[in-house]
């Protein structure tokens, strides 16, 4: 079974407490929290105070996806706000290894996100230092976009690389995940499914989460 990480970017922020309660009662494994700075990506979302409040509402894993430049300036603050996993973008980090060391030294799990145009091979020399690869299957910045089909090839390539090195790095797929394409994404080798619009756009979000969770994982 894949891990399911609903993205709160598509939640109703006027009813955030109820949305968190719904996720707590659901089969969701992680809370996926998207932070955007209007510089690395052409959108601004939410930041530290919102994450600190969400942290108080759940004991599930808070998976924070930073789509910001210079994430090293805020790593400690995100730890204090309650992040369990902190993911930075390879395209935003010229000294990525230093970023990863900083995240791990603060006791968080470290993730690296790659945009759709970034080759999987760019992860080769950082893979053994990280816990998670967040593979973008849309262009980062907005919820509700369509899944880019070529991502399936990239997932297979990364799965092979991780298995050959006998690592336990998780592959998380972020963007355009639906009940209809989840099986093909998991079949390609994904471990974690992020879903924003698919979950929060539904009138039965818990049922949608349960259906995503039911996808069988054959590559284990
Ligand atoms: C996009 C974010 C995603 C987004 C996914 O930049 O990283 O996490 O919320 O939303 P959906 O599932 O609607 O594509
Ligand atoms: Zn995300």
How far is the centre of ligand 1, averaged over its atoms, from the C-alpha of 196 (Å)? 6
The residue with tokens 């355009």 is 176
* Radius of gyration of the CA atoms of the chain, in A: 16
Q: What is the pLDDT of residue 219?
A: 59
Structure tokens at 185: 């994404």
User: Residue 125: exposed, middle, or buried by beta-carbon count in 10 A (0-12, 13-18, 19+)?
Assistant: exposed
* Ligand 1 pocket: which of 196, 197, 198 to mutate (most atoms within 8 A of CB): 196
Level-2 CATH architecture, domain 3-217: Alpha-Beta Barrel (3.20)
Q: With a threshold of 0.75, does the pTM exceed it?
A: yes
Q: Running along the chain, 220 residues long, what does each successive block of 10 average in pLDDT?
A: 98 98 98 98 98 98 99 98 99 98 98 98 98 99 98 98 98 98 98 98 98 83
Which residues are close to ligand 2, an ion, with C-beta < 5 A? 34, 65, 174
CA distance 54 to 57: 5
149-197: pLDDT as tens digits: 999 999 999 999 999 999 999 999 999 999 999 999 999 999 999 999 9
Minimum CA distance residue for ligand 1 atom 9 = 143
Give the pairing type, strands 192-195 and 30-36: unpaired
Q: What are phi and psi of 136, to 5 degrees?
A: -75, 130
**Cα gap 30→36, rounded to integer Å:** 19
């Amino acid at each position: 079974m894949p891990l399911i990480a609903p993205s709160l970017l598509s939640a109703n922020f006027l009813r955030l407490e109820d949305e968190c309660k719904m996720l707590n009662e659901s089969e969701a494994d992680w809370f996926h929290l998207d932070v955007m700075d209007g510089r690395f990506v052409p959108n601004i979302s939410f930041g530290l105070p919102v994450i600190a409040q969400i942290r108080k509402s759940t004991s599930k894993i808070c998976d924070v996806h930073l789509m910001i430049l210079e994430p090293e300036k805020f790593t400690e603050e995100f730890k204090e706000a309650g992040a369990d996993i902190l993911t930075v973008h390879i395209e935003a980090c010229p000294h990525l290894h230093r970023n990863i060391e900083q995240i791990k030294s603060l006791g968080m799990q470290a993730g690296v996100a790659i945009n759709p145009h970034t080759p999987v091979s760019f992860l080769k020399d950082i893979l053994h230092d990280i816990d998670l690869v967040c593979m973008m299957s849309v262009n980062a910045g907005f919820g509700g976009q369509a899944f880019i089909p070529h991502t399936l090839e990239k997932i297979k390539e990364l799965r092979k690389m991780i298995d050959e090195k006998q690592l336990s790095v998780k592959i998380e797929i972020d963007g355009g995940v639906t009940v209809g394409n989840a099986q093909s994404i998991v079949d390609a080798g994904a471990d974690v499914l992020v879903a924003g619009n698919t979950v929060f756009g539904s009138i039965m979000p818990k049922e949608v989460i349960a259906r995503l969770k039911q996808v069988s994982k054959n590559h284990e």
